[in-house]
Structure 1
Amino acid sequence: MPAKPPRTATRTYRIGWWIGRAIVIFVAGSVLWVLAYRFVPPPVTITMLGDLAGGRGITKDWMSLSAMDPAMARAAIAAEDGNFCTHHGFDFTAIEKAMRRNASGNRIRGGSTISQQTAKNAFLWQGRSWLRKGLEVWFTTLIEAMWPKRRIMEVYLNIAETGIGTYGANAAAIRYFNHDASRLSATEAARIAAILPLPKRRGAVAPRGFTRRYGNAIVRRVAIVRGGGLDACLR
């Protein structure tokens, strides 16, 4: 009569089986989720749910990238990710520069690309943790592999927080300038881009101090983005 396997070995096998199954489900589920969002606008994000839970409500108004004034995408590239069209999700040079700048005690800033921010906004939660950062890397890799650059920019410009309870460039244009994002000027687009890092603290209407200076700098960079073809992947 064959000897029974030790209980410890059996328990280890079962744990390994469940872990393996969980990994397969997560990988398959996340791939299908990302594939769906290539064609369907994200109906809601975790950040939006936080606003709803807090009783603030949300305002969003999806607009396709083709309908949006090109100045908005150029302003986003100028402000957030100058190498958007050439990297594959991660700009390691920008990350290194941000780490050196932060280590020197200057104004804290990140090195996240628009692709990384899209992955975070669409699939994850805000905040800083190694778990969230690891998942951000995974989802960034997926969207870069499964979405064209135009789709990444389109989703980013439609779900990024642009004010308290306000999401997307179109909702921001209506809130701040009383017209939709199809008629944004370079200055208006730059002001929206300037508030993206801190949308709950900065305003696009009559900005002051750093926000005003930053917006003016973005306006100048928009011309560089257009003239230098830094938005070529969106044309």
Structure 2
Amino acid sequence: MAARRKNPIKATIPPGRARSVGALLLAPLRFAGAWTARISLGILAAYLALIVLYDVLDPPTTFTMWSEKQRLGKLDQEWTDFEDIAPVMARSVVAAEDANFCTHWGFDMGAIRQAIDKGANRGASTLSQQVTKNVFLWQGRSWLRKALEALLTPAVEAVWTKRRILEVYLNVAEFGEGVFGVNAAAFHYFRTTPAKLTPRQASLLAAVLPDPKDRNAARPSRYVSKRANQIADGAATIKADGRADCFSP
């Protein structure tokens, strides 16, 4: 008669000890998750503090200005209060970059849908988004930067007035290589001050904004000149139909 085969001995871990081992393995993940959440909240709180601070204080610089200064050695930029900028300059920038600036809450959903339909990126970004990117973030198209922009833009809209958003934009926007803000741009291209800009000069400055390093407001190409004419018409239109009321004197 064949010998009966003995059952193998199975190693077992008591249920209590199994739970403790599992908890021990998960502890580093929980620790990392907790610290990630704390760091994220800290960064968000710092951004919100800066948004509140820059509602009353002028931003001293931006990441783009800092990086360009490292590259060029110097920059031309001087802050100008909104009251000292020709109203037509403000209307020209809005007409060129964000005609519905006064009617949206930071995102122009209609423009975004049109940009998606056309397969284009340019034209969907509002002035509020551009200010958020320029003042608080960095250039580029990374998902992290876009996510932060999406989070911070509504906060900027909630804390700042439309007039403040436009004032900051006009003072930090790049108008040429090493030329930042309307004060520097007015002098660089036309040897004048922001308060004395003519409608034609204002529309030319607005026309260089999408490509400031390759466009010249003082010596405009045929395309830039034509674009400036369109901007001048748009500036007159938003003044007439009320879409400039939120920042007009």
Q: What is the TM-score normalised by the length of structure 1?
A: 0.93
2-structure distance, mates of 1:191, 1:231? 19
SS of the residue corresponding to residue 110 of structure 1 reads coil
Q: Does 1:86 align with 2:99?
A: no
2-structure distance, mates of 1:189, 1:31? 33
Q: Does 1:199 align with 2:212?
A: yes
Note if contact 1:158-1:169 (Cα within 8 Å) is conserved in structure 2.
yes
Match of 2:45 among 19, 25, 28: 28
Q: Report the more deviating stretch, 215-224 or 3-12.
A: 3-12
Kindly provide the amino acid, as one letter, of the partner of residue 76 in structure 2: T
Q: Does 1:145 align with 2:162?
A: no
Residue 228 of structure 1, CA deviation: 1.2
Structure 1 equivalent of residue 181 of structure 2: 168
Structure 2 equivalent of residue 63 of structure 1: 80
1-structure distance, mates of 2:105, 2:83? 22
SS of the residue corresponding to residue 114 of structure 2 reads helix
Name the count of aligned residue pairs. Answer: 230
Structure 1 equivalent of residue 10 of structure 2: none
Query: Structure 2: where are the runs of 5+ without partners?
Result: 1-15
1-structure distance, mates of 2:238, 2:183? 21
Describe the superposition over 1:102-124 as per-residue Cα deviations: whole angstroms up to 9, x where unpaired.
36xxxx62310010111111111
Note if contact 1:79-1:193 (Cα within 8 Å) is conserved in structure 2.
yes
SS of the residue corresponding to residue 162 of structure 1 reads strand
Query: Structure 1: where are the runs of 5+ without partners?
Result: none
Residue 56 of structure 1, CA deviation: 4.2
SS of the residue corresponding to residue 55 of structure 2 reads helix
Q: Residues 124 and 176 (structure 1 numbering): CA distance in 2 closer, same or farther, change over 3 Å? A: same
Q: Report the more deviating stretch, 135-144 or 94-103.
A: 94-103
Q: What is the TM-score normalised by the length of structure 2?
A: 0.88
